[in-house]
């Protein structure tokens, strides 16, 4: 109810006063109110189920890339009876979105192969846009380690790896890094975005509200 009140307050300022409230400000306000409420109930700061966990402030966060490097987060989602969604977002060192895309199809792929395909889609888009130095981050440890070690094989997923390596030759720098799933929420939301529409959708700005909210949360927790 505390969160709903803060959101409703921001909505009323927009509707009745014409004032647009930055999503980061709203999230910060909600966290402040929740912190006051939880502290009043005697919830400890760092205990299991404590303040930091309840407020989504556990150690870590979206890690900003080095200067001059753009970070591309990727994720995939395989939904039974629906198909496979791939989510990709590119951000700068301040956490601002450069571009984002989602690709959806009515095919239920192997989850690990889908994660590799999300990376392939991401690096292809980066090449199409003329990027030079990138960091590709995903939450599938197996795929990230395979790419870091340039593992070879004969199964379908290694064919995807080969395509990724072929694209990456075009970059001055391309590194692959692993992140925890809760720090990959934007790409995850893009992979599961509604409405489900087969094909590719791209955004350079004005992303859907839920995606914008995820980006704002990442910037608040940015390390």
Domain assignments of the chain as residue spans, ordered by start: 2-54, 70-221
Contacts of 82 (CB under 8 A, 6+ apart): 106, 108, 196
**CB contact at 8 A, 90 and 126:** yes
Decide which of 3.30.70.20, 3.30.930.10, 3.30.420.10, 2.40.50.100 is the CATH code for 70-221: 3.30.420.10
Q: Which residues of the chain, if any, have pLDDT below 50? A: 45-51, 53-57
- What is the reported pLDDT for 36? 66
Q: Residue 46 half-sphere exposure, CB side, CA atoms within 13 Å?
A: 1
Q: What is the dihedral sign for C-alpha 203, 208, 211, 215?
A: positive
Distance, CA of 128 to CA of 72 (rounded, Å): 14
pLDDT of the residue at 46: 47
- pLDDT for res 48: 42
For residue range 29-55, what is the model confidence (pLDDT) as tens digits?
666 666 666 566 665 544 444 445 444
**How many other C-beta atoms lie within 10 A of the C-beta of residue 126?**
25
Give pLDDT, residue 16.
75
Q: What is the pLDDT of residue 51?
A: 46
DSSP structure class, residue 183: G
């Amino acid at each position: 109810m505390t969160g709903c009140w803060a959101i409703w307050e921001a909505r009323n300022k927009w509707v009745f006063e014409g004032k647009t409230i930055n999503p980061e400000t709203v999230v910060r306000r909600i966290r402040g109110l929740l912190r006051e409420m939880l502290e009043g109930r005697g919830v400890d700061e760092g205990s299991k189920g404590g303040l930091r966990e309840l407020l989504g402030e556990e150690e870590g966060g979206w890690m900003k890339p080095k200067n001059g490097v753009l970070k591309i987060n990727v994720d995939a989602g395989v939904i039974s009876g629906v198909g496979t969604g791939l989510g990709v977002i590119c951000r700068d060192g301040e956490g601002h979105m450069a571009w984002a895309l989602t690709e959806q199809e009515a095919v239920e792929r192997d989850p690990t192969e889908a994660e590799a395909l999300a990376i392939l889609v991401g690096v292809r888009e980066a090449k199409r846009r003329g990027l030079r130095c990138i960091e590709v981050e995903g939450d599938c440890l197996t795929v990230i380690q395979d790419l870091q070690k340039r593992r070879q094989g004969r199964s379908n997923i290694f064919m995807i790896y080969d395509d990724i390596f072929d694209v990456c030759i075009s970059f001055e720098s391309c590194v692959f890094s692993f992140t925890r799933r809760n720090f990959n929420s934007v790409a995850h939301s893009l992979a599961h975005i509604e409405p489900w529409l087969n094909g590719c959708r791209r955004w350079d700005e004005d992303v859907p509200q839920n995606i914008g909210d995820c980006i704002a949360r990442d910037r608040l927790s940015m390390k």
